[in-house]
Every structure is written in C-alpha cells, then in structure tokens.
Structure 1
Amino acid sequence: MLCRAFVCFLACAFCVAAAEPDADWPQWHGPNRASVWSNSKLPTTFPEAGPPVRWRRPIGGGYGGIAVVGKRVYVMDRQTKPAEVERVLCLDFDTGKPIWVHQYPVNYKGVDYGNGPRSTPTVHDSKVYTFGAKANLFCLDAITGKVIWQHDGVAEFKSKIPMWGHACSPLIDGEKVLVQMGGEDACLMAFDRTTGKVLWRSLTDEPGYSSPVRIDVGKQKLVVMWTPEHVHGVDAETGERLWSVPHKVTYGVSIVDPVWHDGVLFVSEYWNGSIALQLDERARNPKVLWDGKRLRMLMATALVRDGHAYCLDRENGLVCVELRTGKIKWDGCRISYDKRNPHAPLTWTADG
C-alpha cells in the first residue's frame, strides 16, 4: 500500500522509542527542512500494545514539535502554576531527565486553544532559537540554556497575535534568523543570528501560522512567505518585496509551509484550496499554473518528489497530485482518525 512510504508522527505522548538517535533532527521538518528522516531501520508493523517506551517525561501544554541534536532533546511548553510561563526545556535523550529549563512570563489571554507554544525549537551552531505563541523570540546557549539575546515582539515591533497564537518556527539562513513576527510593517523579519540585531523588516500583511521558506531560483536568493492575504517573494539579502500573489485565506489559517519543487511553488489551505505558481528564471513574474478546491489541506505540509506532491486532504485522505498540472494521481489513503480536520505530520524515511 502506498501509505507505507510515509512515517506519520501522532504526538499523543512525549516519548522516545530508540536508544540511539540515528541522526539529528535540529529543527522543524528536520535537516535542511527537507522532511527526510535518515533512519532506514523502521519497522513496518508495531506490537499490538504499541512500540516499547524507553521513558516518559511529564511536561506542560503545547502543540510544537521537538528538536534532537546529539544526546539532547529540545521542546517548549507552558505552565500555569505557580505563575503563567512559557518554557524551553532541554532533556537528556537517554533518560528524559531535564538538563536545563529556561522560562519567561506570558499571558495567553485571547489565544484560542491556548494550551501552549506552537513552534519547534531550531538548534544551530550550539544555539537554540525559539519563538513563542505571544511573539517572544529567544536565542539560548544550547549547552547551558543561558540567554544570548531576546526580543519581545509585541513591545518592540507591535506584533499582532493571530487568533491561535504565533506558530512560526525560526529559520536559519546563513548569518540570519528569520521569523514571521507579525509586526508593524514587519510581518517578516530578519535578525543577526549571533547578536539579535534587526537586519531587515518586510511585508505589511497580518500574520498567519506558517514558517518562511528559503529557495534559490537562478541567482536569486528568495524567501517565500505565505500570509493570510498573499504568497510573497522577498529578497533574502535585503528584505525587499519582489512580488505578491493574492491568496486570501478564511480565518487566517495559512498554516502549511510553501513547498518549492520542480520549478513549482505550491501552497494549500482548508477552505479555498490550493494554488501552484511558476516563476521566471529571475524568480519574478509568478504565473498561476492551477488553483482551486480539488485539494484542500489544513496543517500537514506536503511532501514532494519526482514532480509530485503528497498531501493530506480534508476529505480524501492522503492524495498524490501532479504539481505542474494539479491532476490527482491517487487518493483515499486514510492516515488520520479525525475525519473533519485530518492532520498528521508527513516525513520521508531514508528507504523512501
């Protein structure tokens, strides 16, 4: 069955079922944000009682992912007693015991489904970058948890908080770290990853929930940012907006990350569906190849390979679509128990 090519992580409990990390998973979507897990030893079936659990560690609420580098696991949560705080936790990979914890005060008033942070820590060059639901951006020492620099988006940049809180995971691009800050004339921002200095601000849109994506088109280094109003192309070096394509999203749920593959830029959302764009050799002049409701996604970013995208559709389960034409090649593989809002992160395995 075609479903077997994918690993679907259902985060019902925070547990680790392997004694050794096969490879680092340092950020959202893994190394290079390619959604490829290099483990090639995964079983095709589990015991009836489920895979053996090596350890469990109770933590607070949250919807974000984990990052693993070496023998350390990084994750965010929220605590409400004795005070309301967001936390960044570093745990021992083998035992689950805390190595360090960094916490800071927050107020989730007005955040729907306000259980906890939504983003995944980014670990790079012995530093951890985190972005909380209320626009708190931190750079921490990965070994000690010491604060290297920080920004309060609301206080410093007049960041607006989306209905369900910020969910962008920080993206490292050379010496920069990029986030969808949602600030005043600063929906997308770039910071010096070492000092925290603001390098550029871009876009005036309201913030959504997706993360920026870096692509190269010819000689152009491009950042693609999908907001609730547009798909934008931004110069990665200067922050200059190069182009924008309107793609209005109901309730602001621009959640999945844009994907770039085989010369096609693709995004999809829950109500109005998908849009596939083609850029010229200078990364300008976006042309709509196809759009519409034939494919409607919610939270799971598509996987891409050999000119096709593998997507979790709101009605038809796992769907394979030809990226350049929008033709549905197959569908109906059910991998989520939720029939109304299906979601399950999709990841390639090393053996394909």
Structure 2
Amino acid sequence: MTKFFAAFLISSVAFAAEDWPRWRGPNSDGRWNPQDIPADFARKEPVRLWKKDISAGFGGVTKSGNRVYVMDRLKTPREVERILCFDAESGREIWQQSWDVSYGGMDYATGPRSSVNITDGRAYALGATGVALCLDAETGQVIWQVDTVKTFGAKIPTWGFAASPVIDDTRVLLHVGAKAGSVIALEKSTGKELWRGGPDPAGYCTPEIIQHASTRQLIAWGPENIQSLDPDSGRVNWLYPYKITYGVSIAQPLYHDGILLISGYWHGAKALQLGKSPSLLWENQKDICGLMSAPLFKDGVVYMLDKTRGLRAFELKTGKILWSDDNKLTPKNSNPQMSLVWMQESSNLAALLNADGELVYVTLKPDKREELGRWQIIGKTWAHPAFAGNRIFARSDKELSAWQLW
C-alpha cells in the first residue's frame, strides 16, 4: 500500500466519522464508524449540549464542519419552507433562508421531507413542493433557485417530494418526476438543466449510484418501475416493473454482490440479479415488507425493518429469514420507522433512533440481535439524525438538539 493511499484511507475514515453531510451519511449508506468508542459507551448517559426550537418537518439532519443543517416549515405569518444553519458546538443560529410555498391538500402536510446535501461549500435542498435550491453553505446566500413544478413540469406526489438531492460530479440529481423524466439532472453550479431520464412519476426514494460490472448506474425507484439510468446522460439502461400501491416507493434499495434488493410496504421484497438486464432471484410478498427505513448489510445478511414484525435479518442471496425482533426496537404501529446505522461495523455494532425518539445501541448478527443500551433523546420523530464523531444531532417537529454520547 502506498503512503498516499494509506493517507487517503485515514483521511476518509476521519471524514466519515466527523461529518454527516448528506442523506444517510458521507456515502449515503448508513455507515458511521466513529473512532475511539469507549468500552462502556452503552452505559454512558448522553449529555445534551444544546437544544433549539424549530418548526415541523420530516427531513433529516446533516452536518459539515462546524455547521448543522435542517429544513422546516412555518405556517404564519406566511407559509414558507426554510433551511436553518446552526453552529455545531453552541447551537447558535448562523443563518436561515426561506421561500414561499403552498402545501394545499398534501397528505402528512407537516414540512419538508428531504435532507440538505452539503458538497464543496454549497448546500443543495429540495422542498416538499418541488423548489430546489443551491446556497452558499457558509452564508446562506442563494446561488440559484428553481421551481421544478413550474419550470420542468414536475408533478407533486401525494405526500410531497421526499428524495434528497444527489450530487454526482458536476450534476445535482433530483427525483421529481418531471415531464419526460423521472430524474432530472441540473448543472450544480448554475441550476441549468442537463438531462432528464426514466419514465416514472416521482416516488419518495432518494436515488443512488451503484457500480456493477465496472459500470456506474443510477438506481431510481419509482411507483411503477425500478429504473437504471446512465448518470452521465440519463439514458435508460433497463426497467424492471414493480407497480406499488399508493405509489409508496420509499425505502432506499440495497445493492451488494451483484444483487439489488427492493422492498415495499404493500408488495414485499424483490431481489434482482443484475446483468445486461435484471432477473428475479427471489421475492417475498408477505414476510419481508419494508416501508421507510433503509436497511443495513454485512456478510451476506440484510437487517431491515418489516412493517409488522420489527427488525428482521435475512440472507440477501436466498431471502431466508434468520430472526425477527418482535417490535422491540421501535414501536409497533401502521407506519413503523427507525433510522439505523453501523456504529462499529467490524464488531456488528449498530445504533438507531426509533420513532419514539430513543437512541438504541444494538449488536446485529446472523443468529441474534442484542440490545446494549437505550436512551431518550428527543420526542417522536421519523427524521434521520446526523451521527458525527461522538455526537448525534436529532430533530422532531419542535426542536433540534445535539447530544454528546461519550
């Protein structure tokens, strides 16, 4: 291993542990892996560093450098969505930026659903009604702003736009179901349209870029198809039909070992073997049904929240169910939710924030799961927190708070 490559790996690990700049972390895959976790971490009660009042929203928290970002919605004196930026150490508000919206008859009309993406000193955001923005991450100054509904013919889905912006090279990718394009690529510096791709309307799932057989593919799960697009041009590589009741394509697909796993609330899980065109490897329409929570993977095993049975472990290649936690880690209801990350992947240690606002430490293994500690840190929430260093930044519909974990 060259000294340069070793230094790159060390810096990458440090970045991954200290920052959470986009949806599901530095690589959008739910890996946290902080350094120097003490042996007694699970017995250490988290210490709240600060709390700030904010308004409602489902969008996750992101952190880059010494700043924390979150979106919310105000109803009075006029209806607006906002991006709020706070100092990570003190909680002092540094800036806020707002824009007018009208949620109208949107279901679950609480607030924004997506996370702010911080890349190269810019903050990229997508509101529930389709307003996309690029801001200076330091000052909050608007660099460009576009209404994707008015400009590109995007159609607001029943529960509003929920997919977080994805940055790919010089492009920002938005899953908004624009006219003649499920995903639209904008030049990230100007907001100028570059391409549109895919036939589906907007779903609720953040697109992801995978590398399969030396080829980069943009996976965009819509309400009618699982779509593979060329991220450089928007050209459709392949489509796999998967029509979803009520259009609830939400949970992020999982790709490993040439297999793409998709799981929906109403029609269950499908595992696709990828090749020139995908083929169905297995499916389970009753016993593996995800909703919002993105799964984790290690050593051939998937850990995913099922709609009725709680967290389940099953083999990716076969779909064989290994165990279920019987709804012990997050409350059982019609819309179960938890935000699950690898805390120390090498030791099978995971952390989660459940729908009751409890931080739970747990080990996940093919034969069992073991709860190690549980702490109440915030009120009820579906929003993904930011895990950064030895801290967690979590939000509810009323507050944003920072906690030191050890």
| TM-score normalised by the chain length of structure 2 | 0.78
For residue 319 of structure 1, the aligned residue among 295, 312, 317 is 312
1:285 aligns with 2:277: yes
Task: State the SS of the aligned residue for 1:33.
Answer: coil
1:310 aligned partner: 303
Does 2:109 align with 1:110? no
Q: Who is 2:159 aligned against?
A: 164
How many residue pairs get aligned? The number is 326
Paired with 1:45 and 1:134, the residues of 2 have a C-alpha distance of 43
- Off by >4 Å, runs of 4+ in structure 1: none
Alignment root-mean-square deviation, CA? 1.4
Matched, 1:196 2:194: no
Deviation of 1:80 after TM superposition, in Å, equals 0.9
What SS is found at the alignment partner of 1:345? Answer: strand
Counterpart of 1:116 in 2: which secondary structure?
Answer: coil
Percent identity at matched positions? 41
Instruction: Find the partner of 1:331 among 324, 331, 348.
Output: 324
The residue type equivalent to 1:345 in the other structure is S
Q: Does 1:77 align with 2:72?
A: yes
Q: 2:27 aligns with which of 12, 25, 32?
A: 32
Post-superposition offset of 1:327: 0.6
Answer yes or no: is 1:344 the counterpart of 2:334: no
> Paired residue for 2:51?
56
Quote how far apart the aligned CAs of 1:152 are. 0.4
Partner of 2:146: 151
* Structure 2 counterpart of 1:274, from 260, 269, 277: 269
How far residue 72 of structure 1 moved from its aligned partner, in angstroms, is: 0.3
Q: How does 1:234-313 map onto structure 2 within 5 Å?
A: 234-280=229-275, 284-293=276-285, 294-313=287-306
Q: Which structure has the higher relative contact order (CA within 8 Å, separation 6+)?
A: 2
8 Å contact from structure 2 (residues 176, 201) kept in 1: no
Distance 1:303 1:22 in 2: 17
Aligned equivalents of 1:100, 1:200: Cα separation in 2: 32
Displacement of 1:22 in angstroms is 5.1
How far residue 331 of structure 1 moved from its aligned partner, in angstroms, is 1.3
Structure 2: runs of 5+ lacking an equivalent: 1-15, 349-406
- Counterpart position of 1:96: 91
Letter in 1 for 2:282: W
Contact 1:90 1:100 in 2 (8 A): yes
Q: Is the 8 A contact 1:121 1:170 kept in 2?
A: yes
Using the TM superposition, give the Cα deviation of residue 52 of structure 1 relative to its aligned residue in structure 2, in angstroms: 2.5
| TM-aligned CA deviation for residue 70 of structure 1 | 1.1
Residue identity opposite 2:317 in structure 1: R
> Secondary structure in 1 aligned to 2:271?
strand
Q: In the alignment, is the contact (CA less than 8 A) between 1:221 and 1:237 conserved in 2?
A: no
Secondary structure at the aligned position of 1:54 is classed as strand
Residues 114-153 of structure 1 aligned to structure 2 (within 5 Å): 114-153=109-148
Aligned to 1:173: 168
What one-letter code is carried by the residue in structure 2 that aligns with 1:349? M
Structure 1 residue runs of 5 or longer lacking an equivalent are 1-20
Name the counterpart of 2:178: 183
Tell me, yes or no, if structure 1 residue 44 matches structure 2 residue 39: no
| Structure 1 residue aligned with 2:367 | none
Give the deviation of 1:45 after TM superposition.
3.8
1:228 correspondence with 2:226: no
SS in 1 for 2:47: coil
Relative to the length of structure 1, the TM-score reads 0.90
| CA contact 2:284–2:319 (8 Å) conserved in 1 | no
Take 2:264 and 2:316, find their aligned partners in 1: how far apart are those partners? 16
Give the conservation status (yes or no) of the 8 Å contact 1:157–1:186.
Answer: no
User: Shift in Å at residue 46 of structure 1?
Assistant: 5.5
**C-alpha deviations, 1:215-237, integer Å up to 9, x for none?**
11123211001001110111111
Match of 2:393 in 1: none
Q: Is this contact kept in 1: 2:73–2:112, CA < 8 A?
A: yes
How far apart in 1 are the matches of 2:165 and 2:265? Answer: 24
